Chains A and B, each alone.
Chain A
Amino acid sequence: MIRKSVLIRGRAGQGINFTATLLGQMLSFAGYYVFIYRDYASLIRGGHNFNIVTFSDQPLYSHDEKFEAVINLDRSNQDFRKDLVRKDLVLDEKKVNQDEWPKDIPQNQYQINNFLLGYLAGCWGLPTKFLTQSLRKELKLWQLAAAAVKLGIRQSVLREKLPIYPSHERHLLTGTNGIVIGSIASGLDVYLSYPMTPATGVLIELANQAKQRKMLVAQIEDEIGVINTALGASYGGAMTMVGTSGGGFALMTEAMSLAGMAEIPLVIYLSQRTGPSTGVPTYNAQGDLNFARFAGHGEFPRVLVAPGDPQEAIDRTMEAFYLAYRYRVPAIVLSDKHLGESYYSLDQITFPRIKPDRFIVERPGANYENYALTASGVSPRAVPGQRAWARANSYEHGPDGFTVEDSQMVKKMNDKRFRKESGLAKKISNWQPVRSWGRGRNLIIGWGSTQGAIRDSLSELRGWQFLQVSYLAPFPRVEVKKAIDRAERVVLVENNATGLLGQLIALETGCLIKDKILKYDGRPFTSHEIINQIKRIL
């Protein structure tokens, strides 16, 4: 098996991300599975950033922290852990043979990057065509870059010839791409947001597709404005999504409760970063699970789903749209920086069998009531402009939508809203609310973006099964409890300080998980860390 990692490090603005993307694409064109991890600080120029490109001829879902090669763009070597590198493959500008550098290629940072990429490809005997393919895809003026790449290949010395599998070219996708694809496939009309790392990627990508796909993508003055405008738009009949990170979601919580009370469908993309407060804005954490689960005053049903990879991001976003609009509840898609911004290889993109539907009644009758008391708790949805009065109310209300304070109606309406929970629970039970990998008497439980590193650790953990809990609300009690009851040892793996999923499992199932592997330094897990820690627990 081949599994190698390349570290690309330097200052912000030197083209680290771009160089890593080109390298990842080249390897993908050469038939490798690729994972790219991006590590950057909250600044625009300078500072120390890096990317890790890990690749293998076998499927892989996470990065490693030992490197076969380094493309080093930062001469200061600040924070450079050289002990993690096989020293002889550190490529920097010193590799440039000045005498052979042709005059027609400017010797600027970007061409040096391309030169070093070519040099690395040459060391591994990879043909020029894969890099050229990547350059053509990413650059309008790719010829110059291709010349620099060829120069690098020419000046390199072959070390190890890597096999190529060119017929196996795959998708290279981020979680952000997955959310975007899933929302478009759900029939998204309106996306509203206020820029906040790491949720901004979805805003940017949707904004760039808005015209072509006839969507409205707009930036609103603040997150309170975002969600209240979105609820107005959803009430008005548009398929609507908002996106933010923890701080922005904190501002949205009052309106989250409004969505629950007024039964207005809404999908909320919540991408976590290291908190509390402003925290470590460009780094990762799974610290908002319980916040998302319980956000909003008063009690109301909601959907909370946390994908663990880009394909699941597509699936779960489409499910969230379906559930929000079918059941008239707010649905949160919980992601994080690591899933959102890392690149994963996918053999193919698939779509769940969910037909986009606004769930608006075609012809509301003369006696239409927006909050009709039904057995399922779901009232048919009409919108203004139809032949009915569509009345949404943040106050407690009767079936017709007018304000009430009457004790019986207050109870009836609470019961009606919570009746939706059984329909929701039944629906998600067909959608794999938990996923599992591997076999064994011992169980690792996790959720969200830790999925990749945990899956990659399984190959070295004999007798361990991994259970990923994808739905956090409604909570798949039966499935989770069954798996825990069956297991000999149970270990919780979470990217937070207190084991939030463990707390939720205790609340929902009564099962207490004592063994926890927690990481809360802003960095995602690698499979090696998980393997080592599990071995330590045993």
Chain B
Amino acid sequence: MISEFDTSQINTWCPSCLNNIALRSVKKSFVALVKDGLNKRKLTVVADIGCAGKFFDYLNVNGFYGLHGRALPTAFGVKMANPELKVFAFLGDGGAYAEGLNHLVHLSRLNPDLTALVFNNRIFALTINQVTPVTEYGYRGSTTPEGSADHPYNPLSVALSAGASFVARVSVLNPEMMESVIKKASQHQGFSLIEVLQPCLTFRPDDRIQLQKQSYLINKPASSQAAAQKIIRSWNYESGRIPLGVFYQQKRPTWEERHQIQNWRRLKRKIGYQSLNQKRS
């Protein structure tokens, strides 16, 4: 029952915001995870700041509503404390690709076992319509009255280069696919990055049509990193067809495995006062 994850918080997304579809998909994914045997008390969401952060208030699970740009290190810390937890980070393109890009690169490299959902609407929406690093050239936002003079970069390509072991892109317009990719990501042992294309109907209503027309499905992950790069780079966040699907998946040891992380809370420590007290001269 998805209602077990409902909260009584008032939904403050814009009316008819496509995030509501995503919210339903997330809850359905959680239901599926619990059905597959996950103790629901282990579900933990870490939220960034922005429209994507608001998932925190609408999901009745453990949660940490952190700082803008810092959801990834915070989520990493949660796994560090207790590797048994199922951790999902909710970020926007501002938090993940602007303020917190360095963390995306490093977590891709380090491979902790958690899932990052980056809700990309290609603008800062909550602060009322400013460009992000994935906004296209020429976009007129509140701080770019003459149109943005800069081109976007490709964050999925960067994450893959840095070693991300699971890279995918989904669309909120295709909730079934989103649920299935979230499921695959949460089954993946390692860092999984899912970019969720989520057109902002308030500031960028045309994006919805573009996404419907331009997107196409990739059926299975590429066989090599190079092949995945090719698919990922086929869309430059400005024009052209938009591939959706799991682009790359690779099995490699997680950070927690390599560092032998345990659930510290259960560790009954014996403080070796004797050894601390040894003569040091």
Which A residues have a C-beta under 8 Å from some C-beta of B? 25, 28-29, 137, 169-173, 177, 181, 184-185, 187, 189-190, 213-214, 216, 218, 220-222, 224-225, 228-240, 254-255, 258, 262, 348-349, 351, 356, 358, 360, 383-395, 401-403
Contact = CB atoms under 8 A, between A and B. Distances in A.
B91 to A, nearest CB: 13
Contact of B78 (A169, A221, A235, A360): A235
Nearest to A21: B281
A225 B82 contact: no
Interface residues of B, number: 48
A392 B64 contact: yes
B127 interface: no
Contacts of B67: 228, 254-255, 258, 394
Nearest to B266: A237
B193 interface: no
Given A221-B102, A224-B70, A235-B77, A401 B63 contact: yes
Interface stretch (B140-148, B209-217, B271-279): B271-279
A231 B77 contact: yes
Interface of B: 7, 9, 41-42, 44, 46, 49, 56-57, 60-67, 70, 73-82, 84-85, 102-103, 106, 259, 261, 263-265, 267, 269, 271-273, 276-277, 279-281
Contacts of B102: 221-222, 225
A225 B202 CA distance: 33
A229 B276 CA distance: 28
Contacts of A348: 277
B66 A233 contact: no
Contact of A185 (B61, B80, B271): B271
What does DSSP make chain B's interface, helix, strand, loop or mixed? mixed
Given A171-B279, A258-B67, A389 B61 contact: yes
A232 B82 contact: no
B267 A189 contact: yes
A392 B109 CA distance: 27
What does DSSP make chain A's interface, helix, strand, loop or mixed? mixed
Contacts of B49: 394
A229 B74 CA distance: 4
A4 B64 CA distance: 57
Given A25-B281, A232-B80, A384-B82, A225 B103 contact: yes
B77 A228 contact: yes
Nearest to B269: A187
A163 B84 CA distance: 61
A228 B265 contact: no
Given A181-B276, A184-B272, A225-B70, 15 more contacts: A184-B276, A221-B102, A224-B70, A225-B73, A229-B80, A231-B77, A232-B66, A232-B74, A232-B79, A232-B80, A235-B77, A236-B79, A385-B42, A385-B82, A401-B63
A189 B84 contact: no
Nearest to A382: B62
By Cβ-Cβ distance, the 10 closest A-B pairs, closest first, are A232-B77, A236-B81, A384-B62, A237-B265, A229-B77, A233-B77, A232-B74, A238-B81, A228-B73, A189-B264
A30 to B, nearest CB: 11
Contact of B273 (A173, A185, A220): A185
7 contacts: A171-B279, A172-B280, A220-B106, A228-B70, A385-B82, A392-B64, A402-B9
A235 B280 contact: no
B74 A231 contact: yes
B62 A349 contact: no
Contact of B81 (A171, A235, A391): A235
